[in-house]
Structure 1
Amino acid sequence: MKKLILLMMLYCGGSFAQSPAKTDPAVLRQFMDMRFGMFVHWGPVSLRGTEIGWSRGEQVPTAEYDNLYKEFNPVLFNADEWVKVAKDAGMKYLTITARHHDGFCLWPSAFTEYDIASTPYKKDVVGALAAACKKQGIKFCIYYSVLDWWHPEYPNHSSTKPSIDPKSDMNKYVAYMKNQLKELVTKYDPYMLWFDGQWEEPWTDERGREIYAYLKQLKPSLITNNRLGKEFAAMDNKQIDHTKMVGDYDTPEQVIGKMNLTTPWESCFTICKQWAWKPNDQLKSLETCLDILSRTAGANGNLLLNVGPMPDGRIEARQVARLREIGDWMRKYGTAVYGTMGGPWEPNDKFAATRKGNKVFIHVLKSAEGGLTLKALPGRNISKSAIIGGGAVTTETASDELRIKIPQQPATLPYVIELTLDGPAEQLPIL
């Protein structure tokens, strides 16, 4: 109960709560408590093994790219298997690229023929995933790009040679967007919408606020990220003015967000290098994936980890194996991730920390022979200390330092030390 009160104060306090038409803080708390989700970038471009959207007109000629859907027939796609992979990895939500910058739609849309219904496959990918997520208890989320280089009414038709088409009409394009978004919300009831592509000149914050308000009319509890507007951390992890955000949470990309207890945020990372499937793409090690997950939670954020399925519809076996390994770790240490707050120490390259109730969890990221020395916890005593699933550790507080001795370290990194305190951990300041 104390955690709920504190988080409500954090999420409702200051300018964040004063921004108009925001999602209920209780809904955002639930989202942030989940901590870990699966991102899926997929479409006809998987036939070429190049990047989704961005390779159009660059690695793949535009005309060829725009006609790949005529060959797209992922006969081995199984939505239940995808969702089970996510669930077994310890992920709590799944976000599918229903429409990326290339404009192709993975659902049968009444407002375009550039969709899955026009492929040899014909079946509704988005609908199948929505049903599988509901059946397996995973929150279903949809990615939708606000730019569309394929659509004639969107003013820019190229990522490599941007220019404004005088024949285009942004008002007609936004009407098209609204029709599709209403279709997605009413047909598939997504928990969250993940927008992207708002950095181009034709899109404005005013347009973003218009779409946000429209979505709130359709489904008041719907969560959206902040890429309906221009204010977002992005790949340079810039410090943003959250009062200018259009949406509910920030989205650093391929980088761990900054420690923030007031503005919800989610980092998105690829499990390989490319977002969409690429043959023999370099796969991140288990230690790297867990390091990212621990440091993200330690900075009070969520992690959206991306997979890129193959053109036949399967997730690569090596990606599945890596996710299974992450799931094994989460089954052991998940209590130090789910439903936690970041801190009280800021994460670094050696350790991250999370907390809930009267517990503090120290995620040891690098070998800690000789133990750890941290700033002391003000006003709190430690009544118990141990490695989760492992042996005891000893703690000593002296000269404003907390010294932790670790007699025997687990062989696998990261591992987690659990400290039990004599008072609430959430009320501690960032040290």
Structure 2
Amino acid sequence: MKSIFSLFILLISFLPSKSQDNLIPSSIKTNSSILNDFMDQRFGMFIHWGPVTLRGTEIGWSRGVNVPIDDYDNLYKEFNPTLFNADQWVKVAKDAGMKYLTITAKHHDGFLLWPSSISDYNIMNSPYKVDIVGALATACKKYDIKFCIYFTVLDWHDPNYPIHIPDGKNIDSKADMNKFVLTMKRELKELITNYHPYMLWFDGNWESPWKNEYGIDIYTYLKKLDPNVIINNRIGANSEHPKLGPGILGDYATPEQKIGELNMNDPWETCMTICQQWAWKPNDSLKTLKVCIQTLAKVAGGNGNLLFNIGPMPDGRIEKRQVTRLKEIGDWLNLYGESIYRTKGGPFQPNEIYATTRRGNKLYVHVFERKSDQLVLPAMPEIRVKKAFLLRGANIDYKQSKGVITLQLPRQLPDQNDSVIVLELNTNAENIPVVSQTKYNSLII
């Protein structure tokens, strides 16, 4: 039977990727109601952290590049983040208005932030000896934040993985991918059974050793352990992270460091850094509050989620300036959160002037900049505005002719980062088809 199965796997590796995608039965794919719940969250915290913060270089990618391999691989022996406090981290996410949290339990450097029986290269063999993953899982439950785990499908530290430095070259002939995938399964079983993550965020699927059949195998295996766990689209062998579709395994798309396109059909999540580097870097430049809030609004306006990354310091603290910026986002969401959470994007493609979200009979117009006295929205045939007003503010004047809506903007927008205008419509705004529009400048009078 083993020989027959091996021959079967060999044969399917030569089939088009669409056929491979169809090897996952629809019965085990993540239920649409679960994915809808995920997309309702809209805003999550990404955390990149590990011993490499002692050098202030990028996690994984600096191994053998900015930091010599021997130095990098021994940083765990001096990693002692005594100021780490899981409750404080999760409280920062809560105060920022974030609904879920994703921790790099295992990045490309192979170091594990949990006490594994599979690999000795883990947090319990550092001076700190605290289960980081477990502590965060517990804190997330306490603060009603959904707990998620990042896990890499490449591991430059593992001798069974054929590539050992970030250049993607010099394949190790002594490596054994079958043994590597078995190790992955055992580690993932620990994570699923011990911490029960809401979602698994895979990464590293672009290197040549990783094949689609491995992704199919892992996805199927995980669904046997937990049928409801959400899995991103970096589980199969592809570099088309912003996309879903035939040949791309996984439940949702993952554009990186850019805002995804308006997509009312496929779930997606932009991952983006609050600074420049994923892991902590001294004096790294921090995004302005305007950029942060408008990024969130544009992502929601495109019908996506925002997974916003922070990089805690070597001692376990999150930089005060990052905490402050996140709290400022949370303050904005306390006022305007109804225009973000549990909304749909569209029907217009977000631009530099405005974005729109919608729920029920309300269309929320996020105004980023007052270019003139009026803002003109493209025509929406058969749609009639019954009322227009500033969210948390007064009514505003508007005109409607042949479906074109002209909004009279106040002399002073109430929020310099994103002022939200609510349009109450004569119909369910969520049912409006996507409206094609010309370049936004032509919509400004």
Is the shorter-chain TM-score for this pair beyond 0.5, marking a shared fold?
Answer: yes
CA shift, 1:296, in A, is: 0.3
Deviation at 1:22, TM superposition (A): 1.4
Q: Distance in 2 between the 1:232 and 1:58 partners?
A: 22
Q: Which one is further off, 380-389 or 209-218?
A: 380-389
Q: State the secondary structure of the residue aligned to 1:70.
A: helix
Q: Which runs of 4+ in 1 moved over 2 A?
A: 17-21, 230-234
Paired residues of 2:206 and 2:238 also in contact (CA < 8 A): no
For residue 145 of structure 2, the aligned residue among 138, 148, 165 is 138
SS at match of 2:161: coil
CA drift at 1:64: 0.2
2:389 and 2:395 in contact (8 A); partners too? yes
Q: 1:224 aligns with which of 228, 231, 253?
A: 231
Q: Write the distance in 2 (CA, Å) between the matches of 1:411 and 1:139.
A: 30
Distance 2:168 2:222 in 1: 32
- Cα distance in structure 1, aligned partners of 2:50 and 2:103: 10
| Separation in 2, partners of 1:18, 1:374 | 43
Counterpart contact for 2:168–2:207, Cα < 8 Å: no
* TM-score, length-scaled by structure 1: 0.93
In structure 1, distance between residues paired with 2:389 and 2:80: 52
User: Could you give the per-residue CA deviations for residues 151-184 of structure 1, whole angstroms, max 9, x where no partner exists?
Assistant: 0111111103622111111000100000000000
**How much has 1:337 moved relative to structure 2?**
0.4
**Is 1:34–2:38 an aligned residue pair?**
no
- 1:5 alignment partner in structure 2: none
Match of 1:417 in 2: 421
Asked if 1 retains the 8 angstrom alpha-carbon contact of 2:105 and 2:133, the reply is yes
Deviation per residue, 1:3-50 (Å, 9 max, x gap): xxxxxxxxxxxx9x9856310100000000000000000000000000
Shift of 1:377: 2.5
Q: Which residue of 1 aligns with 2:324?
A: 321
Give the whole-Å Cα distance in 2 for the aligned partners of 1:368 and 1:220: 50
**Which amino acid letter does the alignment assign opposite residue 33 of structure 1?**
D
Give secondary structure in 2 for the equivalent of 1:244. Answer: coil
Letter of the 2:385 counterpart: I
**Cα distance, 1:245 vs. partner?**
1.8
- How far did 1:243 drift? 2.3
Task: Name the residue aligned to 1:404.
Answer: 407
Report the CA distance shift for 1:282/1:251 in structure 2 as closer, same or farther (over 3 A).
Answer: same
Q: Which residue of 2 aligns with 1:10?
A: none
Matched, 1:392 2:386: no
Aligned position for 1:3: none
Separation in 2 of the partners of 1:54 and 1:394? Answer: 53
Q: Aligned equivalents of 2:185 and 2:288: distance in 1?
A: 41
The reply to whether residue 55 of structure 1 matches residue 59 of structure 2 is no
* Structure 1 segment 149-228 matched on structure 2, within 5 A: 149-160=156-167, 162-228=169-235
- The 3 A distance-change label for structure 1 pair 241 and 223 is closer
- Looking at CA atoms only, which structure, 1 or 2, has the larger radius of gyration? 2
Contact between 1:19 and 1:243, CA under 8 Å: does it hold in 2? Answer: no
Contact in 2 for aligned 1:39/1:96 (Cα 8 Å): yes
Bigger drift between 78-87 and 160-169 goes to 160-169
Change in Cα spacing, 1:21 to 1:226, as seen in structure 2 (3 Å) is: same
Q: Which amino acid aligns with 2:65?
A: E
Amino acid of the residue matched to residue 338 of structure 2? T
Partner Cα distance (2:376, 2:158) in 1? 57
Partner of 1:243: helix, strand, or coil? coil
CA distance in 2, matches of 1:233, 1:364: 31
Q: Distance in 2 between matches of 1:138 and 1:411?
A: 28
5 Å matches for 1:248-397?
248-397=251-400
Tell me how far 1:400 sits from its aligned partner. 4.0
**2:166 & 2:427 partners in 1: Cα distance?**
54
Whole-angstrom CA distance in 2 between matches of 1:46 and 1:195: 21
Residue by residue over 1:306-338, the C-alpha shift from the partner in whole angstroms, topping out at 9 and shown as x without a partner, is 000000000000000000000001111110000
Whole-angstrom CA distance in 2 between matches of 1:231 and 1:200: 9
Q: Tell whether 2:435 aligns with 1:428.
A: no
Preserved contact between residue 382 and residue 403 of structure 2 (Cα < 8 Å): no
Shift of the 232–263 alpha-carbon distance from structure 1 to 2, 3 Å rule, reads: farther
Instruction: For residues 354-375 of structure 1, give each alpha carbon's deviation from its aligned partner in whole angstroms, at most 9, with x where no partner exists.
Output: 0010000001112243120111
How far apart are the structure 1 equivalents of 2:249 and 2:110? 22
Q: Percent identity?
A: 56
- CA–CA distance in structure 2, aligned partners of residues 56 and 95 of structure 1: 22
Aligned position for 1:7: none
Secondary structure of 1:334's counterpart equals: helix
Which letter maps to 2:424? T
Q: What is the distance in 1 between the residues matched to 2:295 and 2:244? A: 25
User: Aligned-pair distance for 1:147?
Assistant: 0.3
- Paired residue total: 412
Residue deviations 1:230-267 (CA, integer Å, cap 9, x gap) = 34544xx5xx4512221100000001111111110000
TM-score of the pair, normalised by structure 2: 0.90
